[in-house]
Amino acid sequence: MDPTIAFILLTDGLAGSALYLIIGLGLVLIFSVTRVIFVPFGSIAVFAALSLGAMELGRLPAAIPLIGLFVLLALFMECLRMRRQHSWRQWPRVLGVWGVLPLLPCALAAWASYQSAELVKVAAAVLLAVPLGPLIERVALRPIAHSSVLALLIVALVLDQVLSGLGLLWFGPEGLRTSAALEGSLTLSSGLAINYQTLLTMAVAFGLALVFYVVLQRTRIGKVLHATASNPTGARLVGIRPAFTATIAHLIAALLAGIVGVLISPVATIYYDSGLILTLKAFVAAIIGGMSSYPLTALGALLVGVSESFASFWNSGLKDAIVFGLLIPILVIRSGLAPHHEEEEEGDA
Amino acid sequence: MRSRFCNVGLPLAGLVLIALVPQWLGAFHVALLNDIGIATLVVLGLVLVSGIGGALSFGQAAFVGIAAYTSAWLSTAQAASPWLGLLLALLFTCGSAWILGSITMRLGGHYLALSTIAWGLAVPLVFANTPALGSHSGIDGIPPIQIGDWVLDQSRSVFVLIWLAVLAGGWFAANLLRSRVGRSVRALRGGKVLMASFGADAFRVRLMLFVMASAYAAVAGWLYAHANRFVSAAPFSLHASIDYVFMMVVGGMAQLLSALLGSTLYIGLNNVLQDVLPLFTSRGAQVNSLVFALLFLLILERVPGGIGRPLARLLSRVRPGRPVQTAFDPASVLPRRALPARGELVVSVRNVVKRFGGLVAVNDVSFDVHAGEIVGLIGPNGAGKSTLFNLLTGTLPLTAGSVQFMGDPITGLSQRDVALQGVARTFQHVKLRPGMTLLENAALGAHARGRCGLWRGGLQLDRQEEACIMAEAMRQLERVGLAGQAHERAGSLPLGTQRLLEIARALAADPVILMLDEPAAGLRLLEKQALARLLNTLRSEGVTVLIVEHDMEFVMNLVDRLVVMNFGSKIAEGAPDDVRADPQVQAAYLGSEA
């Protein structure tokens, strides 16, 4: 392998790493706050990407009916809750939060699909992903929030199947690539160049990681999330509502998913079911971080992205298998580090 | 009782059906039943490892695939006999499960689930990208299985083999669950501290289950390859693994029959949908998988126990399980260990220190326990009693000092090794298996005294030892006064009785010393009195007891000697009356003015 190819593979790998880093941040955030291994993350990113593609073709993105469906379900469940708790007075707030707010990005997207400015469409696609996180949490995860991690994982996995099934139904089986890429490249020396799109991806990931760090360490909401993650019972005792933190965590994660969607769609062909494999590779990174450490997850993302890129040079059909194979040494090291992991105890289900 | 019905009735009825069904049904339905049988085998394994063992696997379809491809490749490219294929398929599948399990099982439950998801995605990718395995087009022309001159090349003939395998697999699993190993399997969800307290290794039991589940998948994969005579990567995808989990959840995770129920419902419904959906939509296949995913979600959210559970409840109403008084042969006894003579040194604690970061929880504590006496370890809240208890039982490692048991150091031994040496314990927060009977819970205690493993348990070659274990468990129940309720479920007991049951379980281990962690906590007066009476009787029988207790009054009238702790240090030791008169003890309990 000559240095030029190695350099190209390395930059490709770094761009991939950047994406896995963003996904990994969202996954670790949701897992630490809600114990949910949020498998549908990648599918939300795919919805953002496919919606952008649809808007570029001047069509209404299918994420709109999806959000509409979830809004109806969420409102229905909120009504049931209000009836159970005799709290009908909350209806204006409920209608605002679960009815109107999620539909705003839909309106924006509907408007943007008739605009010509690419940036508007990109922004609309990102925002379109945002309501999906909290809506999915409200409809499917909150009712069983107290189940075991494994039950939550099954539900998350099935949710991903539902989302990709709906994606297939509404977007169709064809893959697509969007044109929202930055053109051109930065020439370093003879033959060595980095695409602007790659640089943009890395810059966004780096910036987001920085924002994540600052938000979690410095702001009030960050501290609330941090408190819930490190001691859920303690957080409840000081008045932090678990449902609220879960909604915030899913909101942030969905925003990240939207960003991943628009960053990846110009460089890779996205199909309705591309989400799962995207999420799982980021999970390999998150497992390196023990599903709890953000810096180690970043390191893991780097490892996954770069090895994927080099693996694809060697055998593109097996590159995913090779990345998952990375899990084996990682898990061996982890189980050596933590031989006395305490499992959760369960009663007879 | 039920076991009679399960042991003889079900297999017999099964055999008759296997002989008759292919005569009655058309080829299409026989083929459908073959699919159901193969899925049932896979889900049987999944119920064992995930439903009962609590370690979720999303890799079962990949295991099926490994077995199917192994046998397919051997019998086509190498022209080997399918029976050799079965052997190697088992070897590869179980080997890979063993490797995968040993690196993930020590970590938390979700690591196995995540790694098997990755595994489930990666394995079909390898199939589809390996030219020797036919890449995307798969392997065809696989020869049928042959038994002597009988060639199983029709779905009717394969039907017999498939369902015999299901029957054998179900019989083995049902036997196993009722055996010594099976009781430890059913105790897995109680956590590894409970497992270690009677000398079982949670990691090894889970790993065994995982390998066993992969063996079931291997047999299923082998049958699949030679029944369909064609394999490709698609049926072994992650989606198929999720479908298996779906079948398990639908049937009701923790019962073997749910494997049959779940796979029948799933495949049956799938078949119906394939007929019905095209009438409404042109994209039937897409809607089909969506319908299943939504149905799965609904079941998970609304009926988390699956539909097997309400069904089982209905059945038990029709045919209530008669509690049968099994007679125990007094000659069935387990070998006992040599117990120390009264007055011999049993436990010797020397200068034990435990620090948690900067906090010194136990500071330089020393005391002895001799055979045949009851020693109480008391102290106000936060004195370090429970920490010391955990140090003695190997639950926590020492920072400094040493603990000797029967003259040998046990410092640094694992909890399980300490238990195997003859230290039996109870728990402050009672750890019983609520779904198991009192007898079975007590029998758990005798786990380390039995030898029969997976094979003898599954093949019912453990009858003699089982009789001894059960007789021993019954004797211990009698000893604590619970023999009359031996066949009730432990979950229905009040707290005081649960504590007695824990003591019976500890006694069943034939311990050198019994360590009780706050046995009186949360008990009512009458329950406390019953407990004290029991402990007095045990003392008169020569049992050595160490009690960690918070309740001064309870221990005062019971123990021979007291060790009093406060703020991590020992402040007094001696006979109850001397300790009661000690000014330091009074200060610790009542404040310095008392």
Q: What is the total count of domains within chain B?
A: 2
Q: What does residue A143 show for φ and ψ, rounded to 5 degrees?
A: -60, -25
In a domain, B437, yes or no: no
Residue B316 predicted with pLDDT over 70? no
In terms of residue numbers, what domain contains B157? Answer: 2-236
In a domain, B463, yes or no: no
Window from A16-25, B91-100, B386-395 with minimum mean pLDDT: B386-395
What is the per-residue pLDDT for A172? 84
B519 with B389, same domain: the answer is yes
Residue B79 predicted with pLDDT over 70? yes
For the entire predicted model, the pTM comes to 0.90
What is the per-residue pLDDT for B317? 59
B21 with B143, same domain: the answer is yes
Residue A39 predicted with pLDDT over 50? yes
ipTM of the modeled complex: 0.87
From chain A residues 140-169, the ones with a CB under 8 A of any chain B CB are 140, 143-144, 147-151, 153-155, 157-159, 161-162, 165-166, 168-169
Query: What number is the average pLDDT over the span B577-588?
Result: 85
Mean pLDDT of chain A: 87
Domain boundary among B236, B254, B269: B236
Higher per-residue pLDDT: B52 or B308: B52
pLDDT-derived band at A87, boundaries 50, 70, 90? confident
Query: What number is the average pLDDT over the span B355-361?
Result: 87
In a domain, B351, yes or no: yes
- B252, closest residue in chain A (CA to CA): A349
Structure tokens at B255: 């019962």
Query: What number is the average pLDDT over the span A38-66?
Result: 91
What is the per-residue pLDDT for A292? 81
Q: Which of B95, B96, B90 is nearest to B74 (CA)?
A: B90
Residues of A with Cβ-Cβ distance to B299 under 8 angstroms: none
pLDDT tens digit string along B34-74? 999 999 999 999 999 998 988 889 999 999 999 999 999 99
Structure tokens at A331: 């898990």
What is the per-residue pLDDT for A340? 47
The residues with which B61 forms a beta bridge, in sequence order, are none
pLDDT-derived band at B326, boundaries 50, 70, 90? low
pLDDT tens digit string along A263-273? 999 888 999 88
Residues of A with Cβ-Cβ distance to B117 under 8 angstroms: 157, 280, 283
Domain boundary among B173, B202, B236: B236
Query: What number is the average pLDDT over the span A168-194?
Result: 79
Q: Which residues of B63-73 are buried (b: 16+ CB within 10 A; e: fewer)?
A: bbbbbbbbbbb
B412 with B535, same domain: the answer is yes
What does the H/E/C string look like for A126-192?
HHHHCCHHHHHHHHHHHHHCCCCHHHHHHHHHHHHHHHHHHHHHHHCCCCECCCCCCCCEEEEECCE
Alpha-carbon span B468 to B447, nearest angstrom: 11
Domain boundary among B203, B236, B269: B236
Q: Which of B477, B491, B428, B434 is nearest to B193 (CA)?
A: B428
pLDDT tens digit string along B472-494? 999 999 988 898 898 999 988 88
Yes or no, beta carbons of A324 and B434 under 8 Å apart? no
- A170, closest residue in chain B (CA to CA): B286
In a domain, B253, yes or no: no
Residues 6+ positions from B341 with CB-CB distance below 8 Å:
B371
What is the per-residue pLDDT for B228? 93
Mean pLDDT of chain B: 88
pLDDT tens digit string along B228-246? 999 999 999 998 999 999 9
What is the per-residue pLDDT for B350? 92
Amino acid at B388: L
What is the per-residue pLDDT for A32? 87
What does the H/E/C string look like for B57-70?
CCCHHHHHHHHHHH
Contact predicate A260/A254, CB 8 Å = no
Could you tell me the domains of chain A?
3-179+194-337 (1.10.3470)
From chain A residues 291-330, the ones with a CB under 8 A of any chain B CB are 291, 315, 317-318, 320-321, 324-325, 327-328
Alpha-carbon span B496 to B136, nearest angstrom: 63
Percent of chain B with pLDDT over 70: 94
pLDDT-derived band at A338, boundaries 50, 70, 90? low
In a domain, B122, yes or no: yes
In a domain, B488, yes or no: no
Alpha-carbon span B64 to B58, nearest angstrom: 12
Q: Highest mean pLDDT: which of B56-70, B258-272, B412-426? A: B56-70
> Any long-range contacts for B364-367 (C-beta under 8 Å, 24+ apart)?
B364/B401, B364/B569, B364/B570, B365/B401, B365/B563, B365/B565, B365/B568, B365/B569, B365/B570, B366/B401, B366/B570, B367/B563, B367/B570, B367/B573
Residue B319 predicted with pLDDT over 70? no
Residue A175 predicted with pLDDT over 50? yes
pLDDT tens digit string along B130-165? 899 988 899 999 999 998 888 888 888 899 999 999
CB-nearest to A331 from B107, B286, B434 is B107
What is the per-residue pLDDT for B322? 46
- B105, closest residue in chain A (CA to CA): A335
What is the per-residue pLDDT for B327? 62
In a domain, B532, yes or no: yes
CB-nearest to A150 from B110, B122, B238 is B110
What is the per-residue pLDDT for B318? 55
Test the A interface: residue of B57, B96, B111 with most A CBs within 10 Å: B111
Percent of chain A with pLDDT over 90: 42
pLDDT-derived band at B204, boundaries 50, 70, 90? very high
Percent of chain B with pLDDT over 90: 46
pLDDT-derived band at A288, boundaries 50, 70, 90? confident
Using DSSP's 3-state secondary structure scheme, residue A282 falls into helix
B359 with B228, same domain: the answer is no
Window from B323-332, B446-455, B557-566 with minimum mean pLDDT: B323-332
What is the per-residue pLDDT for B31? 92
How far does Cα A203 stand from its chain's mean position? 18
CATH number, residue B585: 3.40.50.300
- B193, closest residue in chain A (CA to CA): A342
In a domain, B444, yes or no: no
Q: Which of A128, A130, A139 is nearest to A162 (CA)?
A: A139
